[in-house]
Amino acid sequence: MEFENHTFPSRRSNLVAFSGLVATSQPLAAQAGLKVLRHGGNAVDAAVATVATLCVVEPGSTGIGGDAFALIWMAKEKKLYGLNASGPAPMKLTGEWVRGQDHKEMPALGGIPVTVPGSLRGWQLALERFGSRGLDMLLSQPIAYARHGFPVSQRIARSWARSTDKMNAFPDSKRVWLPGGRAPRAAELFRNPEFATTLQTIAEQGYDQFYNGPIAAQIARCVQEAGGLLTEEDLANYQAEWVEPISVPYRDGYAFHEIPPNGQGLTALLALNIAKQFDLPSMGYGSADYYHVLIEAMKLAFADAHAYIADPRHAAIPLQGLLSQRYAEERRALISTDRALPPAPGLPQTHGDTVYLTVADGEGNMVSWIQSLYMGFGSGLTAGKTGVQLQNRGANFSLEPGHPNEAGPGKRPYHTIIPGFITKDGQAWSSFGVMGGFMQPQGHLQVGINMIDFGMDPQTALDAPRFNWTKGMEVALEPAISDEIRAELEGRGHQLLGKGIEMHYGGGQAIVRDPDSGVLIGGSEPRNDGAAVGW
């Protein structure tokens, strides 16, 4: 396999391995997954060990109080499986009730935005179907880090400190996450013995210990005392589910795969369907034409996403029409090559901090896994003495009466976290993802196109500078994009945010598998603390 020669400033090289590879946003977690592979576990086992460790070492971004999604390729079956482990709203929650609490939009803090944590049921489904190792082995490393401590890495320390005010607002969160009254600094040891006990209980007695009994009681009590409606019954009744991935063909036998709604993977596919109608290689990587076309495609995709994405159990979503070639051509026709236009949803025919990890094993299995609390430390709540922080995923519900994504009992909200996967000629080619709220489908678009249209290796595709469309005509560009390109884009009507504004451009990981040799090539995001490790 050969890659084109593109170079961008980075402190990292590709990790090349054969027997197994793990890439994620924190090196200790990546090594925990690799340890499982080296002891005979498969990619699914290693993925759960990795994400469980991330729940300890990157606690502002993920935890067992959050949700998860995964795309799992099983080599023997030559099949891609989709896993939706996102939890619903409490059965007592309605948009009318929230509006009656004098909210014009869903709050982001406290008990109201807390939805049922789904991630553990996702671990359960994945391991019961494809795993080969028990929880006692897979949770041993995260339990050890929680009990005995781990040194906090640099960027995680920085983001932890930004959540100080949020943690200070809730006594249990302040006690657990701000020892000595402040966030731990880089390279300081941090311990969470309460979470170690919770994980040990789950490892010894099973997943139901989280959704029933004393742990569930503490979660429900915490949420209700903070003004929310989550009950023990809501927790006990939850189950994750297998879903059929959605996909669009791209060029030369490639296809992009995503989880269907309520996730926003549809957004990435809508943008890719538009982008593939342009001759991007002839525009040249990083040209004004390149950025203009991708920004416009992304704007149109988000307009449709916000209009249509909801829980498919409660709303009719015109997936077939949205992903049809006819609709893609209609949307592409709206794009002017010399003028930026405001986004608006179409009418198809009817037929937020996160962790991402990817794992591949020597048998050809690959896992694309994403898990999140949504915003940094989620709702700000920590459940009693469990050491578990609770997500605020309900903040993504709409309060517009009648909207497909309006808050409602048992509904899952529009979800930002999305794992990505690329096949070539029907075989696994790349497991990849880019975490970061509404940046995620934008990252999937840019990193995927970098690898396919411009022949970049995984690390280079991740290093390349990105844009982040925010709203309307506004878009941010990373500082590495030249002033000349900026001026040309502004001349087309794009409203560029200033270089001095701190923006998030996502955090990605990617593995490409050479179909001929089985060699694994992995890259890890230079914008966070992550690493790719292998053997």
- Residue positions annotated with a catalytic role: 354
Comparing CA positions, the residue from 161, 169, 164, 198 lying closest to residue 56 is 198
- 304 CB contacts (<8 Å, ≥6 apart)? 266, 267, 270, 322, 345, 346, 348
Residues 6+ apart with CB under 8 A from 452: 250, 251, 252, 254, 422
CB 20 within 8 A of CB 534: yes
With H, G, I as helix, E, B as strand and everything else as coil, classify residue 511. strand
The count of residues in the chain is 535
Residue bearing tokens 């994405």? 309
Q: Which residue, chain included where needed, has tokens 């080619």?
A: 429
3-class secondary structure, 103: coil
Exposed e or buried b per residue across 260-285, where buried means at least 16 C-beta atoms within 10 angstroms of its C-beta: bbbbbbbbbbbbbbbbbbbebeebeb
- For 426, phi and psi rounded to 5 degrees? 80, 5
Residue 63 exposure: Cα atoms within 13 Å on the Cβ side: 32
3-state helix, strand, coil in the chain (%, to 5): 35, 20, 45
In angstroms, rounded to a whole number, what is the distance separating the alpha carbons of residues 505 and 8? 15
134: its two tokens = 């028990």
Residue 436, C-beta contacts closer than 8 angstroms, at least 6 positions apart: 353, 354, 443, 504, 505, 506, 507
19: burial class by Cβ within 10 Å (0-12, 13-18, 19+)?
middle
The separation between the first and the last C-alpha atoms of the chain, rounded to the nearest angstrom, is: 19
Angle at which helix 288-308 crosses helix 440-452, to 10 degrees, equals: 140
Distance CA 415, CA 420 (A): 14
The whole-angstrom separation of Cα 303 and Cα 365 is: 35
**What one-letter code names the amino acid at 462?**
L
